[in-house]
């Protein structure tokens, strides 16, 4: 295309230039080069500042949109998990749901329900659920968690063998959901283990998991009663 044709095309559709940020920057830079370095251009300086502020605003906008989508996705994930909690017709069926469906819904590599017990010997009927259920002596959960909940997000700490068993070597971060199982009962804990060390960390928001914990402990109280 000849220069005269370019000129006619731009004059007929000036928005092609005005809406292209890279082209506008190139035109401004060309104008600055023609004036030389010893000429103060307040308009050009103002344009550069506005361009920088616009870039910052666009980055912030993208981050806000991404955070909103992530929050919506997280809410839908917790809603699916809660519906799965309400379906099982028995406690063994609940344990099966936790081992399979729930672990997939919450996208974790290991999910274990820890129940404290004062019994010396665990109930043999629960042996077939040892992939998802483990029992521990009174006081274990408080010692393992190290602080009050209801939700603790952190890198995997020492002593995880008691909870995760053979999967211990894969677990790099964990979410601990501390369960109040009602008056006169020892506490429980739902431990979510992840192979990704960044999946759970203390800087994350825990509102959705706190809500899930509240629902889960109410379901547990129903079955334990």
pLDDT for position 86:
92
Residue 160 in any domain: the answer is: yes
DSSP state of 14: T
Residue 49 in any domain: the answer is: no
Per residue in 17-45, pLDDT (tens digit) is 777 777 777 766 666 556 555 555 556 66
Extended beta strands in the chain, E state = 110-117, 133-137, 151-155, 173-179, 188-194
Residue 143 in any domain: the answer is: yes
pLDDT at 140 over 80: yes
What is the chain's length? 225
Which residue segment(s) compose the domain that 177 sits in? 89-224
In the sheet that 173-179 helps form, which strands lie side by side, from edge to edge? 133-137, 110-117, 188-194, 173-179, 151-155
pLDDT for position 161:
76
pLDDT for position 45:
63
User: Long-range CB contacts (< 8 A, 24+ apart) of 130-135?
Assistant: 130/165, 131/99, 132/95, 132/96, 132/98, 132/99, 133/95, 134/162, 134/163, 134/165
Residue 168 in any domain: the answer is: yes
Mean pLDDT rounded to a whole number for the chain: 81
Total Cβ atoms within 10 A of residue 140: 21
Q: How many domains does the chain have?
A: 1
pLDDT for position 82:
93
Residue 209 in any domain: the answer is: yes
**Interval 141-163 mean pLDDT:** 84
Residue 2 in any domain: the answer is: no
Helix axes 21-35, 42-86, angle to 10 degrees: 160
pLDDT for position 75:
85
- Confidence band (pLDDT; 50, 70, 90) for 212? very high
Residue 26 in any domain: the answer is: no
Per residue in 173-185, pLDDT (tens digit) is 999 999 999 888 9
pLDDT for position 178:
96
Per residue in 42-94, pLDDT (tens digit) is 566 666 677 677 777 777 767 666 555 566 677 888 999 999 999 999 988 99
Q: Which range has the top average pLDDT, 27-36, 107-116, 159-168?
A: 107-116
CATH number of the domain within which 112 lies: 3.30.450.40
pLDDT for position 33:
57
pLDDT for position 40:
54
Residue 174 in any domain: the answer is: yes
């Amino acid at each position: 295309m000849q220069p005269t044709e370019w000129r006619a095309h731009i004059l007929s559709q000036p928005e092609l230039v005005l809406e292209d940020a890279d082209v506008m920057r190139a035109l401004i830079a060309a104008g600055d080069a023609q004036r030389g370095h010893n000429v103060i251009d307040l308009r050009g300086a103002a344009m550069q500042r506005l361009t920088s502020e616009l870039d910052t605003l666009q980055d912030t906008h993208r981050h806000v949109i991404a955070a909103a989508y992530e929050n919506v996705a997280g809410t839908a994930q917790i809603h699916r998990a809660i519906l799965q909690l309400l379906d099982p017709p028995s406690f063994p069926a609940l344990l099966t749901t936790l081992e399979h469906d729930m672990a997939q819904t919450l996208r974790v590599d290991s999910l274990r329900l820890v129940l404290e017990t004062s019994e010396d010997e665990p109930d043999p009927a629960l042996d077939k659920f040892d992939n998802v259920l483990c029992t521990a002596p009174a006081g274990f959960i408080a010692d393992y968690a190290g602080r009050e909940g209801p939700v603790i997000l952190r890198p995997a700490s020492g002593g995880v063998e008691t909870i995760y068993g053979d999967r211990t070597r894969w677990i790099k971060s964990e979410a601990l959901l501390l369960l109040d199982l009602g008056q006169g009962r020892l506490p429980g804990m739902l431990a979510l283990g992840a192979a990704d060390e960044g999946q759970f960390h203390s800087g994350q928001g825990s509102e959705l998991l706190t809500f899930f914990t509240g629902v889960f402990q109410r379901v547990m109280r129903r079955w334990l009663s």
